[in-house]
Structure 1
Amino acid sequence: MKYDVTVDLINREEKYSFGEVAKQANGAAWLRSGKTVILATVVIDETEIVKDDFLPLTVQYIEKSYAAGKIPGGFFKRETKPSDFETLTSRIVDRSLRPLFPKGFGYPTQVTILVLSADKESDLQVLALNAASAALFVSDISIDKSVCALRVVKVDGELVLNPTLSQLNSSTLDLYLSGTKDDLLMIEMRTIGSNEFDNSLVVDPFMDPTLGMPIVEMHVSNAISEDELIGIFEQAQEALSQNNIKYEELFAPYKRECLSLEYKAHNINEEMVDFVRTTHMPEIKSAMNQMAKSERSTALRTLRKNILKTNASWDEVELKDAVEKVKRGQVRTQILDENIRADGRTLREVRPISISTNVLPSAHSSCLFTRGETQALVVLTIGGAKDAQMYESLTDSGTQNEHFMVHYNFPGFSVGEASPITGVKRRELGHGNLAKRALEPILDLDSQTIRLVSEVLESNGSSSMATVCGGYMALRAADIETSDIVAGIAMGMVSDGDRYAILSDIMGLEDHDGDLDFKVTGSKNGITAMQMDIKLGGISLDVLKEVLYQAKEGRAHIIDIMLEAETNIELNDGVLPNSDFFHINPSFIGDIIGQAGKTIREIIEKFEVAIDIDKKDGKVKVTGKSKSGVEGARAHIEGIINTPKVAKIEYKVGDKYKGIVKKIVDFGAFIELPDGTDGLLHISKVSDQRVEKISDVLSEGEEIGVEILEFKGNKISLGRA
């Protein structure tokens, strides 16, 4: 492969080839970085134009198993549905590319990103966006801006730009940004606990204790302060700017001649706008005050019908656009001129919050979190190590286990839509992932598996942040320890170029008609995760800092309400799994496990528990569905420990001993010898007379005399003495 362009970046080199492959696409870029090779293509459908005010862009990021020398697992030996990582990466690229397209661009556009070769140190999410942007820049679409991605991590207290995956895995910060040479467009951030690993033996009813030992992951909260984050943004934005300047200069010679495309004309009928603004402002303001999306839509639809009754010649689509423009203008003007929002709140005011915990009596725990007209029912389930979600990334050497899951569901009825519930969409996966990143740093899973499911029952502004708040409360309602209390808030902004207003806890109307959607999660002391999308095309760091501090103020308000609700939690004692922790001398672990795991399996089956044993320091965790079962298992283990050990006897053929009939079987009886060793007394050796049924001669628990006849490997053959 001949490479046309080499781009030297901080800690990474990228080589691009244009015009050699995928020549029938509108644009294509072949990118190599290290041993990773990615092909990105852009294709538009020039035969149709979508008339709605919407950019019909589809991004698909696809990892090929052969890229890492693997064959797909499972029944079907070819790539099937996308993994969560592929879906989330597609979403990140989509959000970064959309601002580049010209206004009025309505042609269906497909961006395809194929990972053809991958090494274990490559950041595929960063390379995916860079490759897609390169393909778009050199295409025949009229786009003259480059966008690129940058990841920033913090290793041993030092910032690293464009890290390797090894550095990311040892980092306390994961910050992914995208932007042009002028503007910061998107931010994804999470803090990472300082992962610790121990040699834990995890035993449950479905695991053979003689098999390999799973690793237990430990997390410690690493929230980051607003001031430190702003400093990092400054460095990152400068790096993004310099990178994009390089891309645009180097890619410009390979830009195709642009197509002559007609863009959607979105002309507003100003006569209708003036009429609505002059004669129907009270109805517009009333519709604005309808907080639910369905109620607001109904009010505006009714207004349009009433206007058409007296203006029958008017086009309803044009009237809809006119009404929407008046409504949007009123929302923004009222905020900028009066500092009053559509629902009457001040700019910093958070909507009323109510919290009810353990509303589902048969679930391990639950929380119904309501903030204004947004409501999330978050339900928690506790499992053992075997309940973890198995997954395998392209660059992983083997399968991994996910012990903390957050699943977010957004049914149509939550916004008054008559739509069926189907599979998980990208938005649902993305919001669940954001909530997971927000809460994971405060958890010490300690060999547990935790699943949080957020059922959004009503939505009018940031149900993902309601999921974070409800998720924390569900954790506490299950008596799960956390290192801090975490809440989330969605921030917005309205700007007319000269003035701006920052909004706390935005509702759906302000998200739709505003210029910023910025979700921030964390404690009172710092941030654990964030997600930002800019609709203006960029945001200054001074404004960003103001947004972060106003978000901190809002989080503190929400956290105070959550702390009060925490004092009223009543656990679902009859349902919630019980756990007990204690320590034993590690020298007794072999006695507890028994030969081939026999003893510990008997404890598990008898008391219906799961048992985790740390081989290094003797820490034992017993978990079960009932308190009595957990207590019984602990007592049994302590009984084994407190029973004096009997010295092993060196048995010889001809020795005679007293033994206890331990178990009777069809072919004989197992006899327990004085040191606990078992021997077999065959039915033919029980008596001088022929015995048809051994239970006619012996009974379990009976003491009899036996003689050592022979050794067969580790087995002892006995005769009657």
Structure 2
Amino acid sequence: MKYDVKVDLKNREEEYSFSEVAKQANGAAWLRSGDTVLLATVVIDETEVVKDDFLPLTVQYIEKTYAAGKIPGGFFKRETKPSDFETLTSRIVDRSLRPLFPKGFGHPTQITILALSVDKEADLQVLALNAASAALFVSDIAINTSVSAIRAVKIDGALVLNPTLSQLGDATLDLFLSGSKEDLLMIEMRSIGSNQVDTDFIIDPLLDPTLSAPLMTKHVSNAVAEDELVSILEKAQELLFENNTKYESSFAPFQKEANEIEYKVHVVNEDMVAYVRTHHFEDIKAAMNQMAKSERSTALRALRKKILLKQEHWDEVTLKDAIEKVKRIQVRSQILNERVRADGRALNEIRPISISTNVLPKAHASCLFTRGQTQALVVLTLGGPKDAQMFEMLTDDGVQNENFMVHYNFPGFSVGEASPITGVKRRELGHGNLAKRALEPIVDFEGRTIRLVSEILESNGSSSMATVCGGYMALRAAEIETCDVVAGIAMGMVSEGDKYAILSDIMGLEDHDGDLDFKVTGSKSGITAMQMDIKLGGISLAVLKEALYQAKEGRAHIIDIMIEAEKAIELNDGVLPSSDFFHINPSFIGDIIGQAGKTIREIIEKFEVAIDIDKKDGKVKVTGKSKSGVKAAREHIEGIVNTPKTPKIEYKVGDIHKGTVKKIVDFGAFIELPDGTDGLAHISKISEQRVEKVSDVLKEGQEVKVEVLEFKGNKISLGIV
């Protein structure tokens, strides 16, 4: 392969070829970085123009299993539906490149990125965006701006830019950014895991008092403070400028001559706009106060019919555009000039919130979270390790297990649309992933699998953030310990020139007519996840910092309401599986297990529980279908541990003792000695005469005299006297 360009970046080198392959496409870029090779292509339909005010862009990131020397698993030995990672990567590329297209571009456009060769250290999301941007830059579409991606992580408190996948595994912060030389366009952020922090010494009565008292620990999430995040963004933005400067100067000689492309000329009839503003301004204000999308649409439709009765020669579609423009002007001017929103709220005011927990009696846990006209029913199901979702990344050596899942569903009825419920869409997958990233750092899974399902029952903005809040409450309604309280809030912004207004808890109208969609989740102390899409081409870090602190204020308000709602939780005791964790002195483990596991099996069967014991540390985990069963099993185990033992006898070869036949086997009999120690009397040592069958000579429970013959490790060999 002949490479046209080599670009040296921080911690990485990229090579590009623009003329060797996929020559029928409008633009193509073959990218190699290390042993990773991606092919990105751009194709536009020059004959069809979509008339709606929408960019018909489709992005597909596709991984080929041969890229890692693998054959697809399962019955079908070819790639089938896209994985979650492929879908989420496609969304990242789409959201980053969509702002580049000129206004009025209506040609259906397909961007395809194929992962053809992959090494285990490659950051495929960063490379996918860089390759797609390069293909778009050199294509015959008149786009002369490069967009690239940077991943910034924190490892042991230090900032690392463009890390390898191995480094990412040790990170406590994962920040993905995309932007041009001038503008930051998209941010995806998550904090990873939690730290274990030492607290006070305590004494557990079940532990041997001669041992050192155990040091208690608690988990603290790696939430990121707002100031620290802005500082990292500042450094990343400097690198974005540097990288995109290199890309644009290197790629410029390979740009194709731009095609003459028909743009949609969307002209609004200004006479209609003037008429609507003069005669029906109050009607539009009244329609805007119908905050649900369906109600607002009905009110505006009625207004159009009313106007057309007087202006019969007017076209309804043109009139609809005029009304939409007046509505947009009114929404934005009222926010900027009067500092009041369409529903009468202040800029930082949160809509009314109500929370009901365990509304589903047969589910393990549930929460109905309502904020304004957005409502999420979040349902939790607990499982064991075997219930985890198996998945395999292209860069993995084997299969991984995902033991925390958040599934988000957005049916049409939630916005008053008559549409069938079909398969999971990209948006649903993305919103579920955002909620998962928000909640995962605060949960200690303790060998469990947790599935949260969010059913959006009503939506007027912020349904993904309602999922985060409802998800946290569902965790608490299942009595799952969390190291912090996490809530989510959607922020927006309206700007004209130097004037701007930041909005907390935006509704659908403000999302549609605003300039920023900014979702941030976290605790009162910091951020656990964030997603930002900027519609106006960029945002200053000073404004972003202001938005982050306004979001923190809104989160604190929501968290206080959630904490109060926790006090009213009533567990689904008859349905909710329970678990308990405690320690015992490891020397008692043999007593709990019993001869050949007899004692522990009896506990499991009697109390309908599962028991997991760490023989080295004495950690005991008891899980069961009911809290009462788990509690009774723990008390039974504690009873065994607290029962005084007969002092152990120091046995010597030749000693004679009385014992009890505990169990008869083909090769002999197990004899329980006075202090509970077991020894084996081999069939050859039971009688001076040859014995064919042990049960002909001995019976279980029979008292016998035995002589200690020898020691084999911890085993005692006995003979019947």
What displacement does 1:61 show? 1.1
Separation in 2 of the partners of 1:698 and 1:411? 75
Report the TM-score, using the length of structure 2 for normalisation: 0.88
Secondary structure of the corresponding residue to residue 144 of structure 1: coil
Q: 1:202-217 maps to which residues of 2 (within 5 A)? A: none
Question: 1:637 Cα shift?
Answer: 3.8
SS at match of 2:220: coil
Q: How many angstroms does 1:535 deviate by?
A: 0.6
Take 2:448 and 2:547, find their aligned partners in 1: how far apart are those partners? 37
Residue 314 of structure 1 pairs with residue 314 of structure 2: yes
Conserved? CA contact 1:61–1:113, under 8 Å? yes
User: Per the alignment, do residues 545 and 698 of structure 1 end up closer, same or farther by CA in structure 2, a change over 3 Å counting?
Assistant: same
Does the residue aligned with 2:97 lie in a helix, a strand or coil? helix
Shifted more, 137-146 versus 575-584: the winner is 575-584
| Corresponding residue for residue 360 of structure 1 | 360
Q: Which residue of 2 aligns with 1:341?
A: 341
Q: 1:58 to 1:638 in 2, by over 3 A?
A: same
Does the Cα contact within 8 Å between 1:657 and 1:673 map onto a contact in 2? no
The superposition leaves residues 42-67 of structure 1 with CA deviations (integer Å, 9 ceiling, x where unpaired) of 11222322111111111111122222
Q: Tell me how far 1:219 sits from its aligned partner.
A: 5.9
Which secondary structure state, in structure 2, belongs to the residue aligned with residue 163 of structure 1? coil
Match runs of 1:533-572 below 5 Å: 533-572=533-572
Deviation of 1:376 (Å): 0.9
1:451 matches 2:451: yes
Matches within 5 A, 1:234-313: 234-313=234-313
Counterpart for residue 202 of structure 2: none
Q: Equivalents in 1 of 2:119, 2:308: separation in Å?
A: 63
Q: Which residue pairs with 1:529 in the alignment?
A: 529
Which residue of 2 is the match for residue 618 of structure 1?
618
C-alpha distance in structure 2 between counterparts of 1:429 and 1:680, whole Å? 65
Q: Displacement, 1:645?
A: 9.4
Letter in 2 for 1:511: D
CA distance 1:719–1:313, change in 2 (3 Å)? farther
Kept after mapping to 1: 8 A contact 2:681/2:720: no
After TM superposition, give the deviation of residue 676 of structure 1 in Å.
4.5
1:115-162 deviation digits (Å, cap 9, x = unpaired): 111122111111110011111111111111110001111112111111
Looking at structure 2, the residues matched to 398 and 648 of structure 1 have their Cα atoms a distance apart, in angstroms, of: 51
Q: Secondary structure at the match of 1:471?
A: helix
Contact in 2 for aligned 1:39/1:116 (Cα 8 Å): yes
Aligned residues: 687
Partner residue in 2 for 1:673: 671
Q: Secondary structure at the match of 1:313?
A: coil
3-state SS, counterpart of residue 375 of structure 2: strand
Give the CA deviation at 1:387. Answer: 2.1
1:362-441, aligned counterparts within 5 Å? 362-441=362-441
Match of 2:483 in 1: 483
2:17 corresponds to:
17
Percent of residue pairs bearing the same amino acid type: 76
Q: CA deviation at 1:588?
A: 4.5
Cα distance, 1:345 vs structure 2: 0.8
* Counterpart contact for 2:392–2:398, Cα < 8 Å: yes
Moved more, 459-468 or 669-678: 669-678
Q: Is the 8 A contact 1:659 1:671 kept in 2?
A: no
1:193 and 1:219 in contact (8 A); partners too: no
CA drift of 1:575 comes to: 2.4
> Residue deviations 1:236-257, cap 9 Å, x none?
1111111111101101111112
Using the alignment, how far apart are the partners of 1:400 and 1:321 within structure 2?
A: 51
Structure 1 vs Structure 2 CA RMSD: 3.4
CA shift, 1:362, in A, is 2.1
Task: Report the equivalent of 2:208.
Answer: none
Amino acid in structure 1 at the alignment position of 2:671: L
Alpha-carbon distance in 1 for matches of 2:153, 2:607: 46
In structure 2, relative to structure 1, the CA distance for the partners of 1:275 and 1:479 (3 Å cut) is: same
Contact 2:518 2:532 in 1 (8 A): yes
Is the Cα contact below 8 Å between 1:219 and 1:441 reproduced in 2?
no
Instruction: Please give the secondary structure, in 2, of the residue aligned with 1:28.
Output: strand
C-alpha distance in structure 2 between counterparts of 1:418 and 1:480, whole Å: 38
* 1:453-502 deviation per Cα after TM superposition (whole angstroms, max 9, x unaligned): 11111110111111111111222222222222111111111111231111
Partner of 2:98: 98
Residue 70 of structure 2 corresponds to which residue in structure 1? 70
Distance 2:452 2:605 in 1: 28
Show the counterpart of 2:213: none
Residue 491 of structure 2: SS of its match in structure 1? Answer: strand
Structure-2 change in CA distance of 1:29 and 1:605 (3 Å): farther
Measured in 1, the distance between the counterparts of 2:277 and 2:178 equals: 39
Amino acid at match of 2:61: Y
Mean Cα deviation higher: 369-378 or 357-366: 357-366
Q: What is aligned with 1:8? A: 8
Report the Cα distance in structure 2 between the residues aligned to 1:607 and 1:262, rounded to whole angstroms: 74
Deviations 1:253-280 (A, max 9, x none): 1111222211112111222212222211
Say if 2:17 and 2:29, in contact at 8 Å, map to a contact too: yes
With over 3 angstroms needed to count, the CA separation of the structure-2 counterparts of 1:679 and 1:526, relative to structure 1, is same
Q: Structure 2 CA distance, aligned partners of 1:648 and 1:677?
A: 14
Amino acid at match of 1:295: E
1:585 Cα deviation (Å)?
A: 2.6
2:498 aligned counterpart, secondary structure: coil
**Superposition pairs of residues 458-477 of structure 1, within 5 angstroms:** 458-477=458-477
**Contact kept in structure 1, 2:113 and 2:128, CA below 8 Å:** yes
For the 8 Å contact 1:384–1:610, the answer to whether it is kept is no
Give the Å deviation of 1:626.
2.0
Deviates more, 1:424-433 or 1:587-596: 587-596
Quick one: which amino acid aligns to residue 72 of structure 1? P
Task: Map 1:172-187 to 2 at 5 A.
Answer: 172-187=172-187
Please give the alpha-carbon distance, in whole angstroms, between the structure 2 residues aligned to 1:631 and 1:444: 21
- C-alpha distance in 1 between matches for 2:476 and 2:136: 48
Contact 1:586 1:617 in 2 (8 A): yes
Seen in structure 2, the aligned counterparts of structure 1 residues 309 and 649 have a Cα distance that, compared at 3 Å, is: farther
Letter in 2 for 1:703: Q
Kept after mapping to 2: 8 A contact 1:335/1:341: yes
Contact persistence 1:661–1:669 (CA under 8 A): no
For residues 496 and 281 of structure 1, the distance between their equivalents in structure 2, rounded to whole angstroms, comes to 21
Partner residue of 2:504? 504
Contact 1:153 1:159 in 2 (8 A): yes
Q: Please give the secondary structure, in 1, of the residue aligned with 2:221.
A: coil
Give the deviation of 1:669 after TM superposition. Answer: 12
Which residue does the alignment assign to 1:166? 166
Q: Distance in 2 between matches of 1:699 and 1:100?
A: 90
Other-structure match for 2:702 = 703
1:585 aligned partner: 585
Q: Is the 8 A contact 2:196 2:220 kept in 1?
A: no
- SS for the counterpart of 1:579 is strand
Tell me if 1:129 matches 2:124: no
Structure 2 Cα separation of the partners of residues 292 and 704 of structure 1: 83
Residues 661, 699 of structure 1: 8 Å contact kept: no
Quick one: distance in 1 between partners of 2:195 and 2:615? 19
Per the alignment, residue 204 of structure 1 pairs with none
- Contact 2:661/2:698 (CA < 8 Å) preserved in 1? no
The SS at the match of 2:456 is strand
Displacement of 1:361: 2.1
- Is the CA contact (8 Å cut-off) linking 1:661 and 1:670 kept in structure 2? no
Cα distance in 1 between the residues matched to 2:466 and 2:258: 45
Q: Which residue of 1 aligns with 2:141?
A: 141
Residue 586 to residue 286, structure 1, CA distance change in 2 (3 Å): same
The answer to whether the 8 Å contact 1:465/1:521 transfers is yes
Q: Which secondary structure state, in structure 1, belongs to the residue aligned with residue 362 of structure 2?
A: coil
Change (3 A) 1:419 1:586: same
Between stretches 122-131 and 163-172, larger displacement belongs to 163-172
Q: Is the 8 A contact 1:388 1:401 kept in 2?
A: yes
Distance change >3 Å, CA 600–CA 125, structure 1 → 2: farther
| 626-635 or 71-80, which deviates more | 626-635
